[in-house]
Amino acid sequence: MGEGIIFKALSGFYYVDDGQRLVTCRARGKFRHKKETPLVGDRVTFTPLEEGTGALDAILPRKNEFQRPAVANIDLLVIIASGAVPVTDPFLIDRVVSIAEGRGCESLICINKWDLEPAEDLYETYRKAGFATFRVSAETGEGVEALGQAIAGKVCAFTGNSGVGKSSILNALEPDFGLATGEVSDRLGRGRHTTRHVELFRLKNGAIVADTPGFSSFDTEGMELRAPQELQYTFREFAPYLDQCRFQGCAHVKEKGCAVLEAVKAGAIPRSRHESYVRLYQQAKEVPEWKRRQMRGE
């Protein structure tokens, strides 16, 4: 019996990396019967068959799973942003971070294009909110080594709005990636956006990276939503204040005696983070629970 990680899923085949080679597996029929779909990132067991092929036997318990992109067992979501064109709207970052927090996945914020724009506000916002926050320039290489150390040995998904430099950073992290990056850019073209195909890559520092399609503000509309009353727990810097509001069940939107609002006023919670929370809270209220469940794939 073999064990490994699904690095790629394509046309009914699962490419399982067992640490030595890539085994091309077919899923056994029982997966279909149980309506269980193996995901890229899944740790699986398989029965080796002839010539590097195998039959997928079981999916080991998942640490977490995401819908869009469809990946499992992510240790670290690396959110790439930029203070230079295309300037990242903090709401996009908060939208994705909130999903990651809700699914028990750690986030890292990486602000690229440092050579063009220091993006002081973005940097301070996320540092203050309690995230590992890095500034890099894929162009000059500044900060790239520190980012590499932060992701070493982890299974990471790179995400961010189109054009922030995801492919460029991967290339800067792994100069030998040169060839592969050409492919990455190709795949990130139009075809990739429609197929939403995800693949894992192994870097020399031991990181395993999923490069996911760039997204736009338009795409955030279709991203999963939690129940309004659960959203507060996906903004980690709110935690110390949540049980200090005057009224139980406080929504932290505009209530009197709200400790979260006071913390925003006092500068302890970044204002843009709270604005994102309010925007998400309102969106979540407009969508019925059955629909939210559907969006979460439940």
Ligand X SMILES: Nc1nc2c(ncn2[C@@H]2O[C@H](COP(=O)(O)OP(=O)(O)OP(=O)(O)O)[C@@H](O)[C@H]2O)c(=O)[nH]1
Q: Name the site residues for ligand X (rule: CB under 6 A).
A: 112-113, 115-116, 137-139, 160, 162-168, 188, 214
Residues 212 and 192: their CA atoms lie apart, in Å, by 9
Q: Is 260 in the site for Zn ion (CB under 5 A)?
A: yes
Stretch touching Zn ion by CB under 5 A, among 73-81, 101-109, 175-183, 248-256: 248-256
What minimum distance in Å lies between the beta carbon of 158 and ligand X? 8
Q: Residue with CB nearest ligand X? A: 214
What minimum distance in Å lies between the beta carbon of 259 and Zn ion? 6
Q: Is 245 in the site for Zn ion (CB under 5 A)?
A: yes
Among ligand X, Zn ion, none, the one that 48 touches (CB under a kind-dependent 5 to 8 A) is none
What minimum distance in Å lies between the beta carbon of 128 and Zn ion? 19
What minimum distance in Å lies between the beta carbon of 225 and Zn ion? 20
Q: Is 252 in the site for Zn ion (CB under 5 A)?
A: yes
Residues 268 and 274: their CA atoms lie apart, in Å, by 11
Task: Decide whether 58 or 150 has the Cβ nearer to ligand X.
Answer: 150
Q: Is 263 in the site for Zn ion (CB under 5 A)?
A: no
Q: Which residues bind Zn ion (CB under 5 A)?
A: 245, 250, 252, 258, 260
